[in-house]
Structure 1
Amino acid sequence: MTDASYWVELFQSQQRLGGGFLLTRRYVLTALHCLRGLNSLDEQVDVVLTDGSRLAGQVCRRDKDADLALIMISAAYEVLLPIPRAGVAHGGDDWHGPYRPAASEVHLRGQVDSGTAQYLCEGGGVIQALQLTTHQFLGDYSGYSGGPVVKGRPEDHEPVIVGILLEQAPDRAAADRAANVLFAATIGEAMRRFDQFDVEHLMDVVHPASSLADDLVQPVQRGDELTVDAAAASAESWFDRIDEWAQRRLLDPSQVAELRFTAAKAAMERQLRGDGE
């Protein structure tokens, strides 16, 4: 998949606020400072996709310390665009940014200098960040904030999002310019900052009557003995349910993998607890 249709632009009426990208089909991740032009009394924004579609959205979470914000797309809209998987970048990896602030601007690409290191960002918080070198010497990269950092080169077959652009390093020899060094929060940092992506929260959303872990740890007995077959059958039942949610596009591939792992882990813990008794 080489299509980069997962990045978006954010507007309030005709005022462009900045860029962002689809972290799931329901949530857009952006840099909080991109929303400075937003009326503080109005959390409504328009999410404009690469094909020009304009969707209603709402700022649902702000994390000032990490300079991150989460926007929820209205349930009235069904986003069918493919969502790339998230991953981890390491020093020496190639990277590129499919988002650019205007059609007349260049695309950024370069190399990861340092992957997943602690960084004190301008918001005041210490975050897990990527230090990036860009091959393009622009002197000012501020318009690119909020865009995705994608591991690899643009021509690579499958994009893997590893971060979100936040800041530029100042040029120490020229105070009015930026060096070609950028900082990006990792996707893992963003996922930790917002509880919308916790497994427990996902289960509450799609199955509010009970959680996955609670269902799996309830004892299923044959006489007084907890069986491997009972634990496996319960896990398989959850696998089928998770696959059904994925087909209905309630979950993204990364969430499906995490939930399947949780189901298997809970089933094994349940059996081990029964064996211990």
Structure 2
Amino acid sequence: MTGTGYWIELFQAQQRLGGGFLITRRYVLTALHCLRGLATLDDRVDVVLADGSRLAGEVCRRDEEADLALIAIAGAYDVRLPIPRAGVAHGGDAWHGPYRPAAAEVHLRGQVDSGAAKYLCEGGAVIQALQLTVHQILGDYSGYSGGPVVKGVPGDHEPVVVGILLEQVPDRVAADRAANVLFAATIGEAMRRFDQFDVEHLLDVIDPAGSTPGQSRRARSVLQRTAKADPAQQEAEERDEPKVATVAAAAAAAESWFERIDEWSGRHILDPAQVAELKFTAAKAAIEGHTRGNSS
């Protein structure tokens, strides 16, 4: 069974910044406000796994309005910890948080009051969020931000991550305390916010040889659209035209499936875990078809 080793802690030098969790073996998801302690203009962080391993990472994306951040683990590290499935929570479901800010702190558990409802977060974005009741009355839950929200109770099934803890609700009677109500962005919301999970990124993951060294397909396509090639470069591109066309066809085929998968998702036929798996499969099939075409 997958353990709770997918949660992590973030440090810069000896300063603890906050929590997060592995959304893939390459990326860590956290709450952006957990990174407020970062030194100016320095995006480098240490990712400390549950087993104590310390890996180099870098903040690669920030979404200030949704209070989310994505951290890329340095390519030199091979993370072998199992990654939990992503899923969907519904009102009435039990939930728990495997991450806690210190060994002396309690683990949070409770009930999902409402699932995937629109919520105006403090950053200003309207996000798909889970409203959560917490059984443990602490008065302040700030240290738990960035941790995963897992469906069910500990140990009752394979972990299914349904959200990321973002905000606590102030107590209306005692303004200096938080009520036992939290809000969490859904996993689906987080994946929609970052283009690292779109088709061009997936093609780079599946077929890194197809990218220029040090440059992703996305970066290359942006440069091609915004820069005028010199005559020598144009001539080289024309010689390479069949290969470019084949790559474009592969991307187009994957994009077509992506649109269909998103349509099914919008009709609630698929949950976020199934969407992610199907998109990866579609991209893989497209690039394998491209590779076979080039070798023939």
Instruction: Flag whether TM exceeds 0.5 (same fold).
Output: yes
Q: Aligned-pair distance for 1:256?
A: 4.3
Identify which of 238, 254, 257 aligns with 2:278: 257
Give the number of aligned pairs.
Answer: 233
Partner of 1:5: 5
* CA-to-aligned-CA distance 1:119-164 (integer Å, 9 cap, x gap): 1111111111000001000000000000000001102220000000
1:101 Cα deviation (Å)? 0.2
1:64 has 2:99 as partner? no
CA deviation after TM superposition for structure 1 residue 203, in Å:
1.0
Query: Normalised by the size of structure 1, how large is the TM-score?
Result: 0.79
CA spacing shift, 1:102–1:78, aligned 2, 3 Å: same
Aligned-partner Cα distance in 2 for 1:21–1:187: 12
Deviation at 1:217, TM superposition (A): 6.9
Query: Residue 38 of structure 1: SS of its match in structure 2?
Result: coil
CA deviation string 1:207-238 (max 9, x = no partner) = 336788823878xxxxxxxxxxxxxxxxxxxx
- Identity rate, percent: 75
- Alpha-carbon RMSD across the aligned residues, in angstroms, is 2.3
The answer (yes or no) to whether the contact 2:2–2:83 under 8 Å persists in 1 is: no
CA distance in 2, matches of 1:13, 1:217: 44
For residues 252 and 124 of structure 2, what CA distance do their matches in structure 1 show?
Answer: 41
Query: More strand per residue: 1 or 2?
Result: 1
Q: How far did residue 199 of structure 1 move?
A: 2.7
- Asked if residue 91 in structure 1 is aligned to residue 91 in structure 2, the reply is yes
- Cα shift readout 1:47-102 (whole Å, capped 9, x = no counterpart): 00011100000000000000000000000000000000100100000100000000
Residue 215 of structure 1 corresponds to 250
Aligned counterparts of 2:152 and 2:124: Cα–Cα separation in 1: 30
Distance in 1 (alpha carbons) for counterparts of 2:129 and 2:193: 13
Q: Name the structure where helix makes up a greater proportion of residues.
A: 2
Contact 1:117 1:130 in 2 (8 A): yes
Structure 2: state its 5+ residue gaps.
Answer: 212-243, 254-272, 287-296
2-side partners of 1:256 and 1:120: how far apart? Answer: 29
Distance 2:68 2:42 in 1: 18
Aligned-partner Cα distance in 2 for 1:2–1:192: 25
Structure 1 gaps, min length 5: 219-251, 266-277
User: Match of 1:70, as an amino acid?
Assistant: L
In 2, Cα distance between equivalents of 1:19 and 1:259? 27
Give TM-score, length-normalised by structure 2. Answer: 0.74
